[in-house]
Structure 1
Amino acid sequence: MEEVDHLADERSKAQFDVEAMKIVWLVHNNNSMSRNELLDLLRAILRFAKITERQQEASMLRFYVDEPAFTDLHWGMFIPAIKGQGTEQQQQKWLALAYKMQIIGCYAQTELGHGSNVQGLETTATFDPKYDEFIINSPTLTSSKWWPEGLVADIGMKFGNGAYNTMDNDVLRFDHVSIPRDQMLMRVSQVTRQQLYVRQTVVADVSCALSWAVCIATRYSAVQRQFGSQDGGLETQVIDYKTQQNRLFPLVNSAYDYSELPELFAVYVPACTYEGDNVVLLLQVARFLMKTVSQLGSGKQPVGTTAYMGRVKHLLQCCSDIQQAEDWLKPTAILEAFEARVARMFVACARNISKMPSQEEGFAELSSDLV
């Protein structure tokens, strides 16, 4: 049977310029292009937009010469931070200025003495309720913010002659700087005038995952055939059923219009290593579980997602009452099986840690078990 490229056939039906879209996508996502490649792509985009030769040169010169230090963190982190974490009022106040680059932002977490060790950071933010301000202070040399890209001046030559020497990476220290409380981005967390800290949990990257899902579903629908054949020929492509189009196409549109995939890529890919390897997060959870285990004998009952640990004696002794396959359809049976397995794992781990000379040595030696 002759192989048919169904996706190519579907792309040929597009009512927009697919090649032009690829160019725009590449500019947003490919940070490894050479200067000439980038300029060639920019020329193609500007030609597509029917901009004159003089405007092309001016636009490219401004993009490549005037703004290289600000393109990455200003557009990739500062603006998305305001959009994702700022209240509506804060967005109205700052976004218009940021888009026009009348205010410029960067990201200053790393400290000279601490790298990505967030718990070891020394810069302090002390709330002053009298003046409704945060006092930001860098008390030591090692608390200096080191390497923030996009500030004025520069720390000097960096290792190698590559990309980092083409941008400014500065050093920053705060000397009891007063910042009004309402300058804190307060959409997902805030400090009240009464010194209460309030935080909401927001699953910010769900839209990205859903965008992947609808892309997969659309591609599969273009390849899969089902029903519709009356004379023994090929069955109908699933994508050609109007009901399938009604379900998928609005979602595809939403994914491109609202998910801002290039921006999500720039913002969330680094999230894998902001605080080091993700193993660090697993170890933090493990420490919390070990602390909860240590408090079981005190009469303090676990709450929330660890409430089941209050039944640890039962879970260590219980046996599943599953008798036949259909019993696994009971959510309570599955839940108890997981609870029993987890309880036995964390009790065994806690016992092994208790046999070590110190708790810290136990955590170091048994880190694989904790993960």
Structure 2
Amino acid sequence: MAQEQFKISPDLEKERNKCTFKTLELTQLLDGGAEKYNERKSREDFFLSDPELKSKVPLEYLSHKEKYEEAVRKACLLFRKVIQLQNEGKGGMDNFREVLGGQLGSAILPDGNPITLHYVMFIPTLMGQGTIEQQAEWIQKAWNCDIIGTYAQTELGHGTFIRGLETVAKYDPKTEEFVLHSPTLTAYKWWPGGLGHSANYAVVVAQLYTQGKCHGIHPFVVQLRDEETHEPLPGIKIGEIGCKLGMNSTNNGYLGFDNVRIPRNYMLMKNSQVLPDGTYVKSPSSKLTYGTMIFVRVVLVQDAATYLKKASIIATRYSAIRHQSQIKPE
């Protein structure tokens, strides 16, 4: 009986037999050739055959807290397996893309990955917005997961209107520090993935003030939680935003600042700089600050295409087997 439950529907088999081309050839073409096809199949088997990456209890039966804990367990195992592939000489960005995006990632973590923004936004921002010295300071720590970061831009009152962000970073030349502050409730960062419990650092986008003048939004690296105890640092108001309609394992959070001080070199200064005396050195283009968001928008389009492929296949298969009215035996 168990074997019969997994038999292919005769209606689906009939439709497949009508195919006028070799499906394997088309699949290999879409994958970029036979070699890429074999790599993908091998990679899928490596991850999907691992019993530890399967949930013992269906997600719909778990509490909100349990969903997050299960997602953290799977995410840690996923990235250990990615590192294993790299150590075996089978690495490459394809592994990260599939694990973080809408392919393997969505198959194993259908309700979201709480560490995705660490790799997709935090590290790329360090690479794209930091100086050589800042990259040397932060990227190795982030890549080894000695620190876990997120990208805190969106605020409760400001989503797509980025120029209107209210979080401020005022430079104090006496101590060579920036003072981050959330002047209103709507200035609270709202929605960053991984912020709720996972991240202990963030790239925070704030309005830069120095020498009494606002110079618009700039990115800053900010420590949020103690690296040993994981407790929020003084002046950091942080937590999770709670249940959502979907992606409840992503661990979206909120973040507010009560006059939190960070060193001057925690401002990412590849494009714009603030000198020790507070002098502002303008970027060649203010648009460079948006580099991370442009990159992520491209990733979102790629993932959307993957999800559309999946939806199209599901709809096509369903249309082949759905019967209207009473089922009559042949």
TM-score, normalised via structure 1 length? 0.40
Larger-gyration structure (1/2):
1
Q: Which has the higher contact order (CA 8 A, sep 6+)?
A: 2
TM-score, normalised via structure 2 length? 0.44
